[in-house]
């Protein structure tokens, strides 16, 4: 986000394309390349994909439209936007939702940067010519369980993020990532085709594309919904902030569709790179690897590169592009945290960055150590990183999203919302929007919230 929220006059994106590119830069990141494939692998392949796509075009669409429009109308960041509509004392519950929107990025930032650190470790591994070693079975495990490596790489990734936000050089990073993003897509496409044509991969393609409803459980919906939020940066105030920089005459509906398409294409591509490769390269251990969770990409992708000619060069190029995609996202997460703190406290930008950096380090270091020295800290079988991820995506984001639905239907009013959207777009999916925001989204979100809390308490099996 190159515009700063604390400037007196609010900047704006040049037009729809500028807006779509900026949001896509924030949205496309580790969520698509790292998180989506491991969840799809774990929660039933084709079944997960189908549920994800249904959620995307229904209430994903409705929530994105709602957040962008709220931002565009109020020209404020999340807490301010909620305050703008709600009356003191009357809408306390909904106002709380505004606060949760603002807190979520603060929880995501530390563990996002831990994964960013893993990416740097692999980048350096390929750069120093250790391609074959990187692909060996114990490589990832010994890396994350060592006492200093994971926190050190986390600190490097976090330092890059905060340096960019501090120096305000994110315009340069955005330019670099605009170049990297098409390259990532192109390279991703080549790697996916290579993965899919390996012997044994067809079973993986089948698993990934064809729904098998025996794999369906309520946790498929919980995971798909959390992923939708994480990947599209919904329910964390980010889209409200981006909306506040959007010009009034830009077609928000068309922009939303384009963002959804780009983000989903990248995620699906990552699935095609990784899931068939699990079947092709892990043989008898495939079932175990499908359940690998956060480590899946780091274990599977190097095996693909190791089996290729020029694998080290391709591995380096791949992780470099993932690094840039992750960095544009982490910059936007830190930027969102900083703008909230600045709006609420009126501290200087530098002071806000320092405070958020301290928070990220205090949470991020234990999180990085959670697979090694702090591995004994577990809750319901979850490591510290998994716990933070679960807390943000499966508990807090559904609450924030419910608050947004209520803000639209009970405070702003559907009629006014529709009128606001129709100022700039034909609003072809108005019926979907109304149905989702009034009934479908709150109902599904409440079910999700109850199930995820139930699963954490051991009442439902994940």
Residue numbers of the site for ligand PHE (CB under 6 A)? 26-27, 29-32, 105, 108, 230-231, 233, 236, 238, 329, 332-333
Query: What is the largest distance, in Å, between two alpha-carbon atoms of the chain?
Result: 66
Report the residue closest to ligand PHE, judged by CB: 31
Decide whether 5 or 329 has the Cβ nearer to ligand PHE: 329
Contact 64, 239 (CB under 8 A): yes
User: Are the CB atoms for 316 and 126 separated by under 8 Å?
Assistant: yes
Q: How far is the CB of 266 from ligand PHE (least distance, A)?
A: 9
Instruction: Name all contacts of 12-21 with Cβ < 8 Å and 24+ positions apart.
Output: 12/245, 12/246, 12/247, 13/245, 13/246, 13/247, 13/250, 15/247, 15/250, 16/250, 16/251, 16/254, 16/255, 19/242, 19/245, 19/246, 19/247, 19/250, 19/255, 20/255, 20/258, 20/259, 20/262, 21/178
Other Cβ atoms less than 10 A from the Cβ of 55: the count is: 22
Minimum separation from the CB atom of position 376 to ligand PHE (A): 29
Angle at the Cα of 19 from the Cα atoms of 17 and 24, rounded to 5 degrees: 95
Q: Give me the least distance between CB of 317 and ligand PHE, in Å please.
A: 20
Q: Which residues contact 295 (CB under 8 A, 6 or more apart)?
A: 38, 140, 141, 144
Torsion of CA 216, 221, 223, 226, to 10 degrees: 170
Can you tell me the distance from the alpha carbon of 240 to that of 76, in angstroms, rounded to the nearest whole number? Answer: 8
Shortest gap between Cβ of 214 and ligand PHE (angstroms)?
A: 29
* Least distance (Å) between residue 253 CB and ligand PHE: 21
Nearer to ligand PHE, 27 or 299 (CB): 27
* Residue closer to ligand PHE, measured from CB, 68 or 196: 68
Of 103 and 108, the one with the shorter C-beta distance to ligand PHE is 108
Minimal distance, residue 18 CB to ligand PHE, in Å: 18
Decide whether 253 or 263 has the Cβ nearer to ligand PHE. Answer: 263
* Calpha distance 66→408 (Å, rounded): 7
Q: Give whichever of 233 and 383 is closer to ligand PHE, judged by the CB atom.
A: 233
Helix axes 397-406, 61-74, angle to 10 degrees: 60
| Pick 67 or 280: Cβ nearer ligand PHE | 67
Min dist. Cβ of residue 410 to ligand PHE (A): 26
Give the shortest CB-200-to-ligand PHE separation in angstroms: 30
């Amino acid at each position: 986000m190159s515009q700063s929220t604390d400037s007196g006059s609010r900047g704006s994106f040049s037009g729809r394309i500028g807006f779509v590119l900026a949001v896509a830069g924030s949205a496309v990141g580790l969520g698509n390349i790292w998180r989506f494939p491991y969840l799809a692998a774990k929660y039933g392949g084709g079944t997960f994909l189908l549920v994800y796509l249904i959620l995307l075009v229904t209430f994903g669409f409705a929530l994105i439209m709602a957040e962008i429009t709220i931002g565009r109308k109020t020209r404020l960041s999340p807490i301010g936007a909620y305050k703008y509509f709600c009356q003191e004392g009357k809408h306390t519950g909904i106002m709380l939702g505004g606060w949760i929107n603002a807190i979520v990025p603060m929880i995501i930032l530390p563990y996002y940067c831990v994964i960013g650190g893993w990416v740097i470790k692999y980048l350096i591994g390929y750069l120093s010519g250790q391609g074959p070693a990187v692909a060996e079975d114990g490589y990832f495990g010994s890396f994350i369980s060592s006492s200093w490596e994971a926190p050190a790489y986390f600190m490097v990734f976090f330092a890059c993020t905060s340096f960019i936000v501090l120096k305000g050089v994110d315009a340069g990073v955005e330019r670099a990532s605009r170049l990297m993003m098409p390259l990532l897509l192109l390279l991703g496409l080549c790697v996916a085709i290579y993965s899919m044509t390996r012997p044994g991969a067809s079973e993986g393609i089948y698993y990934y594309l064809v729904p098998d409803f025996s794999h369906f459980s309520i946790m498929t919906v919980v995971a798909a919904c959390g992923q939708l939020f994480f990947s599209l940066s919904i329910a964390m105030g980010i889209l409200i902030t981006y909306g506040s920089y959007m010009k009034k005459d830009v077609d928000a509906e068309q922009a939303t569709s384009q963002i959804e398409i780009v983000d989903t294409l990248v995620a699906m591509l990552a699935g095609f790179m990784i899931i068939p490769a699990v079947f092709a390269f892990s043989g008898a251990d495939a079932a175990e690897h499908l359940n690998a969770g956060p480590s899946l990409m780091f274990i599977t992708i190097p095996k693909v590169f190791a089996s290729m000619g020029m694998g080290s060069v391709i591995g380096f190029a791949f992780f470099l592009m993932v690094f840039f995609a992750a960095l544009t996202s982490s910059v936007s997460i830190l930027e969102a945290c900083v703008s909230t703190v600045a709006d609420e406290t009126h501290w200087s930008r530098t002071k806000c960055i320092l405070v958020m950096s301290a928070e990220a380090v205090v949470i991020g270091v234990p999180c990085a150590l959670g697979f090694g020295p702090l591995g004994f800290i577990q809750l319901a079988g979850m490591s510290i990183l998994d716990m933070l991820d679960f807390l943000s995506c499966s508990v807090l984001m559904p609450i924030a999203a419910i608050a947004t639905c209520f803000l639209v239907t009970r405070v702003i009013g559907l009629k006014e919302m529709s009128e606001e959207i129709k100022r700039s777009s034909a609003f072809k999916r108005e019926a979907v929007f109304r149905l989702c925001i009034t009934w479908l989204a709150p109902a599904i979100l409440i079910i999700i919230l109850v199930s995820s809390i139930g699963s954490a308490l051991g009442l439902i099996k994940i």
